[in-house]
């Protein structure tokens, strides 16, 4: 079998990545976390194009570039640029920016922006979020965090809790973990349950999953709890008060947990994980956020380096 | 005995026959999008042995490419497309669902980047139960074919 390589590849959607490519990214992230490579991207110029502000994602990407010795150009809010004011198409803007740089990281408020940019740009595009569509680096940092905390990706039991309808991070992580024969427990209010098309996809792939009623029943079973926020805006106030309490995790609930259980959350959290969980050995969401830098370093390194790292 | 034709014969062009009743309007709309100058004779709700009722469309002086024929088949998989020359059927298009549908249709997602950029919408076609689903190459959202066709 061919050794997977991501050299000069666009990273647009998690669906484009094979299991082997995901494993390569995770393994590279681990290497770079333990062995700094401050000159790997020396003499490389990376464009960081944020047509929509996203402070966390941008800082994480830019830290990744700087930790590998690369140089940054770009902007942090498309609305302030002359590109937006002069009404140029995204296709033209990206063609030009791509010709200045060795790789382009981009975030854009419209779905499909990264795919479109990749068709007009010679340099590889790394999607940092396109509207409500894809955010592959979030999924890759989630995968890395799961791997790091469990020592493997294969055959894990994962509970997804909260907003499983609108949360794109949940959708693509479930799709990614499906390739590793993981088993899912789904806990969400009726109005925010996992969309049918996604369940149909899981069925097609023969993935085992079940919908559950409470966190208490899954906590003793699972290796990972992936928490997301149930947004107030989606309910009226009394309904919200009634519902939200079922999707809040506190330290006491974790007494029955397996030793290896880790709690993940894409952040920012509001109150769905009580701060008393932070001090337990199960909390992993801050390591997860830190891992965002390593996962993005891994991607940049793989996309810009021809040989092995 | 020669059967009396239900819709007047055409000398040269394309006849789309055996369209399930009700689907003809969708195909008509699609044809008009393809070329608004086309001369088309329409028969809706005609008796049919196979279908009970059927629609039929006769397009004068226009031959379809295989790609166009495949696109039409999305809307009526049972339809037949016959090429007419000198009042005779000279060729039948084999109907097959295309894997990819390019151009002609806009993406129904109003926030899709394909709308304001120099590209044509492009969909991957997938059969799902009784429906045909089209997935936009750009925004990766999936729609029933009727939604894409704007019907
Ligand atoms: Zn689209």
Q: So what's the pLDDT on residue B57? A: 92
- In this structure, are B32 and B58 located in the same domain? yes
- In this structure, are B76 and B42 located in the same domain? yes
Q: Where are the beta strands (DSSP E) in chain A?
A: 45-50, 71-75, 103-108, 125-130, 157-161, 183-187, 209-211, 224-227, 262-264
Flag whether B75 is in a domain: yes
Q: How far apart are CA B15 and CA B9, in angstroms?
A: 9
Q: So what's the pLDDT on residue B128? A: 77
β-bridge mates for residue B54, sequence order: B20, B46
Q: How far is the CA of A134 from the centre of ligand 1 (A)?
A: 13
Under an 8 A CB cutoff, do A113 and B137 touch? no
Does residue A246 sit in helix, strand or coil? helix
Q: So what's the pLDDT on residue A1? A: 57
Flag whether B4 is in a domain: no
Handedness of CA B134, B138, B141, B143 (dihedral sign): negative
% of chain B residues with pLDDT over 70: 93
- In this structure, are B87 and B110 located in the same domain? no
- In this structure, are B23 and B82 located in the same domain? yes
Mean pLDDT of A48-59: 95
Terminal-residue alpha carbon distance, chain B: 41
Tell me: the pLDDT tens digits for B137-146?
999 999 988 8
Count the domains in chain B: 2
Flag whether B138 is in a domain: yes
Mean pLDDT of A14-23: 96
Q: So what's the pLDDT on residue A234? A: 82
Q: So what's the pLDDT on residue B56? A: 93
Element (H, E) at A32: helix A19-34
- Using an 8 Å Cβ cutoff, are B81 and B64 in contact? yes
Shortest Cα–Cα distance, A95 to chain B (Å)? 13
Catalytic status, residue A19: no
- Using an 8 Å Cβ cutoff, are A63 and A32 in contact? no
- In this structure, are B72 and B121 located in the same domain? no
Under an 8 A CB cutoff, do B113 and A108 touch? yes
Under an 8 A CB cutoff, do A111 and B142 touch? no
% of chain A residues with pLDDT over 70: 100
Is pLDDT above 80 for A285?
yes
Residue B1: pLDDT band (50, 70, 90) is: very low
Domain that residue B88 falls in: 12-94
β-bridge mates for residue A161, sequence order: A187, A227
β-bridge mates for residue B17, sequence order: B80
Shortest Cα–Cα distance, B146 to chain A (Å)? 17
- In this structure, are B18 and B67 located in the same domain? yes
Tell me: the pLDDT tens digits for B74-130?
777 778 899 999 999 998 887 777 888 887 788 999 999 999 899 999 999 988 777
Cis peptide before B127 (omega within 30 of 0): no
Q: So what's the pLDDT on residue B68? A: 81
Distances (CA, A) of A258 to A29, A187, A261: 26, 19, 5
Tell me: the pLDDT tens digits for A109-138?
999 999 999 999 999 999 999 999 999 999
**What are the phi and psi torsion angles at A161 (to 5°)?**
-130, 135
- In this structure, are B120 and B50 located in the same domain? no
**What are the phi and psi torsion angles at A250 (to 5°)?**
-130, 170
- In this structure, are B79 and B50 located in the same domain? yes
Distances (CA, A) of A86 to A79, A83, A93, A135, B88: 11, 5, 11, 28, 57
- In this structure, are B64 and B23 located in the same domain? yes
Closest chain B residue to the Cα of A111, Cα to Cα? B139
Flag whether B7 is in a domain: no
Under an 8 A CB cutoff, do A110 and B141 touch? no
Q: So what's the pLDDT on residue A129? A: 96
Pairing label, strands A71-75, A103-108: unpaired
> Testing the interface with A: which of B110, B115, B117 to mutate, by most A Cβ within 10 A?
B117
Catalytic status, residue A135: yes
Ramachandran region of residue A17, left (φ > 0), alpha (ψ -120 to 50) or beta? beta
Flag whether B81 is in a domain: yes
Q: So what's the pLDDT on residue B136? A: 96
Looking at beta carbons, which residues of chain A come within 8 Å of B135?
A: none
Is pLDDT above 70 for B150?
no
Final residue in a domain of this structure, among B94, B120, B140? B94
Under an 8 A CB cutoff, do B113 and A111 touch? yes
Is pLDDT above 90 for A38?
yes
Domain with residue B128: its CATH number is: 2.30.30.20
Domain with residue B85: its CATH number is: 3.30.70.140
Final residue in a domain of this structure, among B55, B78, B94? B94
What's chain A's average pLDDT? 94
As a residue count, chain A comes to 309
Residue B6: pLDDT band (50, 70, 90) is: low
- In this structure, are B33 and B53 located in the same domain? yes
**Catalytic one among A57, A137, A139, A169?**
A57
Flag whether B2 is in a domain: no
pTM of the full predicted structure?
A: 0.88
- In this structure, are B21 and B83 located in the same domain? yes
Q: How far is the CA of B104 from the centre of ligand 1 (A)?
A: 13
Flag whether B60 is in a domain: yes
Please report, to the nearest 10 degrees, the dihedral formed by the alpha carbons of residues B127, B133, B137, B140 taken in order. -120
- The two tokens of residue B84 are 């007419």
Shortest Cα–Cα distance, B141 to chain A (Å)? 8
Final residue in a domain of this structure, among B76, B94, B112? B94
Instruction: Give me the helices (H) in chain A, please.
Output: 19-34, 55-67, 82-85, 90-100, 113-120, 136-150, 168-178, 196-204, 215-218, 237-244, 285-304
Flag whether B79 is in a domain: yes
- In this structure, are B40 and B75 located in the same domain? yes
Q: So what's the pLDDT on residue B123? A: 94
**DSSP state for residue A110 in the 8-state scheme:** S
């Amino acid at each position: 079998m061919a050794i997977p390589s991501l050299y000069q590849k666009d990273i647009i959607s998690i669906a484009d990545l094979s299991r082997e490519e995901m494993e390569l990214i995770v393994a590279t992230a681990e290497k770079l976390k333990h062995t700094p490579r401050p000159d790997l991207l020396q003499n490389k110029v990376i464009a960081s194009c944020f047509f929509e502000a996203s402070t966390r994602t941008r800082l994480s990407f830019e830290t990744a570039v700087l930790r590998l010795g690369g140089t940054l150009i770009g902007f942090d809010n498309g609305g302030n640029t002359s590109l937006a004011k002069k009404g140029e198409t995204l296709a033209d803007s990206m063609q030009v920016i791509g010709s200045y740089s060795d790789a382009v990281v981009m975030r854009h408020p419209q779905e499909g922006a990264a795919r479109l940019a990749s068709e007009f740009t010679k340099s590889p595009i790394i999607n940092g979020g396109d509207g409500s569509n894809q955010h592959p680096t979030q999924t890759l940092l989630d995968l890395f965090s799961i791997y790091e905390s469990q020592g493997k990706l294969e055959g894990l039991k994962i509970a997804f809790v909260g907003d499983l309808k609108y949360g794109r991070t949940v959708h693509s992580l479930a799709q990614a973990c499906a390739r590793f024969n993981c088993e899912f427990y789904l806990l969400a209010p009726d109005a925010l349950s996992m969309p049918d098309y996604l369940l149909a996809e899981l069925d097609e792939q023969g993935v085992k999953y079940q919908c559950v009623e409470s966190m208490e029943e899954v906590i003793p079973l699972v290796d990972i709890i992936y928490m997301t926020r149930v947004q107030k805006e989606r309910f009226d106030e009394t309904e919200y008060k009634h519902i939200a309490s079922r999707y809040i995790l506190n330290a006491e609930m974790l007494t029955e947990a397996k030793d290896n259980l880790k709690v993940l959350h894409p952040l920012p959290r509001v109150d769905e994980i009580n701060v008393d969980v932070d001090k337990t050995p199960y909390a992993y969401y801050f390591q997860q956020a830190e891992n965002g830098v390593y996962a993005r370093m891994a991607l940049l390194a793989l996309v810009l380096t021809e040989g092995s790292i | 005995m020669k059967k009396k034709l239900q819709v007047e014969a055409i000398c040269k062009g394309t006849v789309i026959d055996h369209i399930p009743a009700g689907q003809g309007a969708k195909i008509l709309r699609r044809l008009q999008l393809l070329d608004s100058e086309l001369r088309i004779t329409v028969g809706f709700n005609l008796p049919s042995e196979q279908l009970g009722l059927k629609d039929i469309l006769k397009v004068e002086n226009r031959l379809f490419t295989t790609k166009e024929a495949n696109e039409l088949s999305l809307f009526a998989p049972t339809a037949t497309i016959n090429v007419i020359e000198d009042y005779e059927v000279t060729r039948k298009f084999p109907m097959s669902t295309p894997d990819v549908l390019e151009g002609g249709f806009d993406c129904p997602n109003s926030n899709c980047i394909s709308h304001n950029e120099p590209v044509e919408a492009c969909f991957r076609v997938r059969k799902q139960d009784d429906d045909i689903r089209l997935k936009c190459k750009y925004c990766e959202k999936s729609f029933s074919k009727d939604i894409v066709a704007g019907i």
